[in-house]
Amino acid sequence: MGVLFGTDGVRGTANRELGAELAFRLGRAGACVLAREARSKRIVVGRDTRASGEMLEAAVVAGMLSAGIDALLLGVVPTPAVAYLTKALQAAGGVVISASHNPAPDNGIKFFAADGYKLRESAEEAIEGLVLGDMSGIPSPVGAEIGRAIPVPDAGERYMAHALSIGPRDAGGLRIAVDCANGAAYALAPKIFGALGADVIPLGVGPDGLNINDGCGSTKPQLLQETVLAHGADLGFSFDGDADRLIAVDEKGNIVNGDAVILACARYLKARGYLPLDTVVVTVMSNLGLHRALAASGIKSVVTKVGDRYVLEEMLRTGVRLGGEQSGHIIFLDHNTTGDGIVTALFLLRVMQETGRSLGELASDLECYPQLLENVRVYDKERVLKSPLLAAAIREQESRLGGDGRILIRASGTEPLIRVMVEARDPEIMLEVVDELVRVVQAIEGGETAA
């Protein structure tokens, strides 16, 4: 990744690392790169509910218009709606202003290509080169050639119609708690499930610009668990701030994460002959129990690095149509070009309806191995990962686990941390292996365990 772009666009504290001037330059440079090879001179723009979104949207749009590109304003919509509408409206690209599951002071700007997929790294590098370099070559038209800002008042309805075409015909008789994290799905998600006839209990639907992801949403599902139990709901769905991920809760208040969702959907698709190559793509964080359950169903799993970008790249490379992460980013390439929490929830309802099984029954098919993750603060991540001492310790502990567990040690992409993750059928052995590996990492670097 470059100086500006990370794995999911440009992120930072709004009005500090990510201010209006940078947003203007990103809008201007992005318009130039996206429109260079596209027939269209229009780019769609959507955002979540953060207070800073209005400022950044105005700056990004100003940059686009100054380059002679029209901005189609979608307003507050989920990230997957921007991806879908970029292609549906035949735009040159799309822009999302959101920091996903991060707290309200953060924000981000990411781009979609004309086909609705995240930009290739080469395109991001081209934008970054312009932003950090000389932008004098970008056109600055005058008069009638200046771009225009064009509202798209039915953006939400267009995405809603698409999403409803994927789920069951109706969900009448189901009571569903829906936590929208005070984010981008706050208006659309309850409306979508209500349109299916479900009795919807809405949560996180009062955004004030500052409460996005605050004690709610997919990264804090406790509120949803409590609500499901208190109201006797059949299940619950929780989305993050931009609604590209889903964490569910079953009728007993148990969390159902991305691994369980992938298993249920993969088995459903395979049984109907709709799982190309009988394969799914997951990341290194997926539980060993998922791999074993998939294998028992004759389904292969391909493993990538953490990040939905890497899952998508592997899906496109191999022709696999279903992939995702334990964190709830699930990609159904037959239905959208990016992770889509609402589509995932609707597809899960379809699986429940057609199999006649509750969410709890579907989730019970996944026997998860106990998993523990410890973060160790270090000074030199590369030195630790390349240490022969660590390699020897890993081999020794893997031998101890045999075939009943696994070890994953990796560097954090954003913090000076080494993440030590161990899974094992026996939780006591798991704790002992984690303690030993943490001790070795600390011995190499003199670091300390981080919270």
Phi (first) and psi of residue 378, to 5 degrees: -135, 170
Active-site residue among 52, 66, 100, 238?
Answer: 100
Chain segment 5-45, per-residue pLDDT in tens: 987 899 999 999 999 999 999 999 999 999 987 889 999 99
226, HSE (Cβ side, Cα atoms, 13 Å): 8
CATH fold of the domain at 256-341 = Alpha-D-Glucose-1,6-Bisphosphate; Chain A, domain 3 (3.40.120)
8 A C-beta contact, residue 79 and residue 99:
no
Secondary structure (3-state) at 448: strand
Residues 443 and 451: their CA atoms lie apart, in Å, by 18
Burial class from Cβ neighbours inside 10 Å (0-12, 13-18, 19+) for residue 165 reads exposed
Active site residue 218: no
Where are the domains positioned within the chain?
5-153, 158-255, 256-341, 371-450
Chain segment 105-145, per-residue pLDDT in tens: 999 999 999 999 999 989 999 999 999 999 999 999 999 99
Which uninterrupted H or E stretch holds 113?
A: strand 106-113
Residues 54 and 57: their CA atoms lie apart, in Å, by 5
8 A C-beta contact, residue 34 and residue 93:
yes
424, HSE (Cβ side, Cα atoms, 13 Å): 20
CATH code for the domain defined by 5-153: 3.40.120.10
Provide the Cα torsion 290, 366, 437, 283; round to 10°.
30
Predicted TM-score (pTM) of this structure? 0.91
5-153 against 158-255: fold identical: yes
Roughly what angle, to the nearest 10 degrees, separates helices 52-66 and 20-36?
40
Please tell us whether the domain made up of 158-255 is placed in CATH 3.40.120.10: yes
Q: What is the pLDDT of residue 404?
A: 87
Chain segment 429-446, per-residue pLDDT in tens: 999 999 999 999 999 976
Rg of the chain on CA atoms, in Å: 23
CATH top class, domain 371-450:
alpha beta
Residue 450 pLDDT class (50, 70, 90 cuts) = low
Chain segment 266-290, per-residue pLDDT in tens: 999 999 999 999 999 999 989 999 9
Residues 198 and 208: their CA atoms lie apart, in Å, by 27
Which uninterrupted H or E stretch holds 62?
A: helix 52-66
